[in-house]
Amino acid sequence: MTTLTDVSWTEAPLTRWDEVCELVDRCLETDGGLPLAADLEFMYSRWGSPALVTRQARTAEGELVAAGLLRPGDSGPTYAGMVDPGVRGRGLGSQLLDWGLISGARVVESELLTAEATALFTSRGLQRTFAEDVMCIDFRVQVPQCRVAPPFQLWEWTPGLASRFFEMYEIAFRDRPDFPELSPLDWIEDVAHDADFRPTWSLLAFHPDLGDVGFLTAKEGWIDQVGVMPAFRRLGLGEVLLSESLRRMADDNRREAWLNVNVNNPGAAMLYRRLGFDVRGQRGRFTPMGG
């Protein structure tokens, strides 16, 4: 069994991304959370800064069992840390977090947030500023069935319809907390220039007399955004958009779909649970209290 004296600490540039991904993978198995977090490309996009500072704990055999990452940013450094489930409860996580905070972290991020991590962050005077449940539906268990009721129609994403998707996004999301003001061009670029974007799973809901009433965008393995105009909510449109997109994913031989839902959005979470999604973990962000 590894004890605290068995591990040696180093502060070193990150050269072995694959090792960190494997560590995240072991953590994900125990903690749940965002499955993408163990993906090399995702890891590199988040943490691939040339100014990245890391603190690493290794066993005598050289195995990486804990790592803290600190990347600079406009509003100060962002910290993330992880400890192999096999060596938890021995203070490694606290040591890493304290190193991050002493090094000036202004944001603490976790894609695999657990109750224990939340308690640790809170004990260091950090407050949660953002949290999402990570949910998954397994098509081997269930593919939601729900047909669009005429006269409503669903149209697939095309470049010609992109600005109408944007208008629906803006109307549906502008009453959400922390709604980001995005120009149509920026939003469309974010959505459609992602290599994982799937236009045939992305749908605009249209009514011949009323016009556009809702939308959904999807990526490989993911429901990205779904929104319905406030005046047309609780009429089953969200359910129709989601079930049609999920059916298309299942018909294209995908085994599952994931989504993130903010913990301050219980209505949407209820809709997802009703369709067969369950919670597989949480992700979150913390900042020092009062700062």
Ligand X SMILES: CC(C)(COP(=O)(O)OP(=O)(O)OC[C@H]1O[C@@H](n2cnc3c(N)ncnc32)[C@H](O)[C@@H]1OP(=O)(O)O)[C@@H](O)C(=O)NCCC(=O)NCCS
As beta bridge partners, residue 211 has 207
The phi, psi pair for 68, rounded to 5°, reads: -120, 140
Task: Tell me the number of residues near ligand X by CB under 6 A.
Answer: 20
Sole binder of ligand X in the list 14, 65, 134, 228 (CB under 6 A): 228
Give me 17's structure tokens: 């991304």
**Contact (CB, 8 A) for 283 and 111:** yes
* Span interacting with ligand X, options 86-94, 168-176, 177-185, 246-254, rule CB under 6 A: 168-176
The phi, psi pair for 251, rounded to 5°, reads: -65, -30
Nearest residue to ligand X by CB is: 267
- Please, what is the minimum distance in Å from the beta carbon of residue 153 to ligand X? 15
Which residue number, 84 or 244, has a Cβ lying nearer to ligand X? 244
User: Does 218 contact ligand X by CB under 6 A?
Assistant: no
Place of tokens 């605009």: 204
Place of tokens 């298309």: 248
Sole binder of ligand X in the list 182, 188, 235, 279 (CB under 6 A): 235
User: Does 173 contact ligand X by CB under 6 A?
Assistant: yes
Nearest to 51 by CA among 95, 104, 112, 98: 104
In angstroms, what CA-CA distances link 146 with 122, 149, 259, 266?
Answer: 43, 9, 19, 22
> Which x/- pattern over 12-51 shows residues binding ligand X (rule: CB under 6 A)?
----------------------------------------
Sole binder of ligand X in the list 234, 253, 290, 291 (CB under 6 A): 234
User: Does 174 contact ligand X by CB under 6 A?
Assistant: no
* Span interacting with ligand X, options 30-38, 86-94, 171-179, 244-252, rule CB under 6 A: 171-179
How far is 276 from 240, CA to CA, in rounded Å? 14
User: Does 76 contact ligand X by CB under 6 A?
Assistant: no
The helix, strand and coil proportions of the chain, stated in percent and rounded to the nearest 5, come to 35, 30, 35
Query: Binding residues for ligand X, per CB under 6 A?
Result: 172-173, 176, 226-228, 233-239, 261, 265, 267-268, 270-271, 274
